[in-house]
A and B are shown apart, each in its own frame.
Chain A
C-alpha cells in the first residue's frame, strides 16, 4: 500500500507551482483568443452575405463536434506535413483558442438574440450606424445574458489545459507525469494537481458570479 509522504510533497511543490504558471498562462492566452475570435464568428453569422454565414456556421459546427485533443494533435502533427511547423505552445493555443471560440460564438449568439427587437428598431429610428448599434447598444445588453456562459468556458479552458501535455507543453499535468515517471510515485503529484486545480477553479467561479452581478449593476439592470 502507498502511504502519503509529506516530505515528497514539499520536494515536488516548487516544480508544480512553476508549472501552474504555465497552466494559467495557457488559460489566459487561450481564453483571450477565444473571446475575440468567438465574437468574429458570431458577428460573421449575422452579415447579409449568405455564403459567409453558411461557411462560418458549418465551421463552428465542425469544430464543436470533434474532440479538442484531436484538434491539438492535428495542428501539431499534421500541419507540418503541409509545411506549417508550429511550436507546442503556438499549436496548443491555436487549437484551444479555435475550439473555445466556436463554443463562445454560440454563447454570444444567444446573448445577441436575447436583446429585444425593439432595441434594434430604436437604433434605426435614431439613425445609429450598424457599428454603433452593436458596440454601444446591443453588445452591452447581450453581455449580461452571455456572461454566465462565458464564465463557464473560462473554467472549461482552464480544466482542458492538461490536454496540452500530449504535445509537450510544460503545464501542470505534464510536470506531474514527469515527476511520476522519475520517482515512480504518482499519488502525491496527481493529488496535488487536483488540489491546485480546485484551489483556482473554486475562487474563479465565485469571482465570476460576483462579476455577473457587478456588470448588471453597472449597466443599471438591477430590478
Chain B
C-alpha cells in the first residue's frame, strides 16, 4: 500500500522535540487526545461527587463510607454537612457540564475528527487550538482549587443564581465563588478559541470534492455546535464577569437593594444555558448518525432533513431560554410565547429520531459495541425528549419545575443521550486514535451494565418528581409528604453506586487497550470516512497527499457492488456518476 508507506515515511521526517510533539502540541490529533484524558478525568471527579450526593439522599444523616477521611468541617463524624451537600450539587453539575461532557463532545471529537474527516492536514489555526486546550488546565485547576479554599466552593448550584451567588452574606462563600467565576471565564475563552478554529477549518480546509452536502453529519453537527458556542459563550462570560464584579469591586448588577435586578442573571445565564443544552446534544446526534449508518450498513435516512433539523434546532435554541424561567416571576404572557417556541423545537428533534429509525429500517444491523451505544443514545434520547414535553407546558411545569422530574429529564438527555454517544464515539474512533482496538467483550459488558444501572438510577427519579420531591435538598425526610418516597431514594442510591462501579470496566479496558490492545487493521469498521484511508494513528499532517472526494459519506450497500461500503475517496468506476 503506497499511501501507507508514504505516510510512514512522512511521519519519520517528523523530528519535533518531545515537548512540542506530545505536550505543547499543535497537532489536532494530540490535542484531541489531550482533551480526552482531561475530560475523562473530570468525568471521574463529577461522578465521585455524585456518589456523595446519592449517599446523603439515600441515607440522610448517616456517616458516609470513607467519610471519616474528610475534614471535620466538611463531614463532621463522616456525615455530609448541609453546606458540603450544596457544594457537591453545585460542583457535580459544574464539572459534568463544563469540564466533562462539553469537552468530551467538542474538545475531543471536533478536534480529532474535523481535519481527518474533511481531508485537511490540520486545523486552520493550530496554535489557537493548542491554547484552547492549555487554557482548560488553569480553568480546571482553579475549579478544583475552589473545593479546597477556606469557605469552600460555590454552593449556589451550577446555575449560580444571583443574588445568592453575588454576595457572601447570603451564601457564606467568599473565595470559592470568585474562583468559580474566574475559572468559567477562562473556560469560555478556551471554548471560543476552539470554536473559531472549527468554523474556519470546516469552511476553508475541506478537501477537493468535499462539498457541504458531502460532509458527514458528525461534522455538520460539530460545525453548528461551534456556531452556537461562539454566539452563546460570550453571554455567559459577560454575565459571569458581572457576577465577579458584584463580589469584588462593589458593582450591583444583581443586588436589588442598590438597584440591581436578580432576574437579569437568569435571563443572561439561560440565554447561554439553553443553546448550551444543544451544544451538549448536537455533537452526540452527529456522532450517533455516523455510527448508526455504519452499523446498519445503509445510507442515513433523509440526510438533508437531518441537516435542516439541526439548523432548526440551533436557531430555535436561541429563543426558548425563557422555559427555564416559567415560574421565575417573568410576565406570564411572555412565558406563553416561550411555551410555543419550546414546543416547536420538539419537532426537529422528532424528525431526527424518525430518520434514525428510517436508517435502521431494512438495514443489516451489526451489533458492535459502538453501534450498541449509539442505539442506546437514540432509545434514551426518545425518553428525554418526551419528558421534556411535560416541562414545556407551563401549567404542568408549574408543578414539576425544580423537582426530580427535571433531574430525570436532564440526565436522560445528558447521560442517556450525550454520554452514550460519547462512549459510542470513543469505542468507534479508539482504533484511529491509538492504532489499537478496545476489547469488544469488555466493551459489551460495560455497555450492558451501564445501560441497566443507568435506567435503574434515573428512571425512578421521574416518580420522585411526580411525588413532588424538590431537587437540591439536603434531607428529603424533613418533609412529611416526601418521607413515603424514601425507599425510592435508597433504590436509586444503590443503583447509582453500581452504575459508578460499572465505569471501572470502561476505565480498565480503556487504559489497558491504549498500551496492550490488539493492533487494528486499516479500516476495522469498514467505514466510508476519509479518516480510515490513512494509517492509525495518522502521521503528522494526516494524509500523504491531499485526498479527493467523489461522493457523500453514507454510500453503504450500494446495489451492484460486492463490498457493502464505498469510501468517499474511491475514484468512481466507469459508468458511475462522480
Q: Determine if chain A interacts with chain B.
A: no
Binding site for B on A (CB under 8 A): none
Chain B residues within 8 Å of A, Cβ to Cβ: none
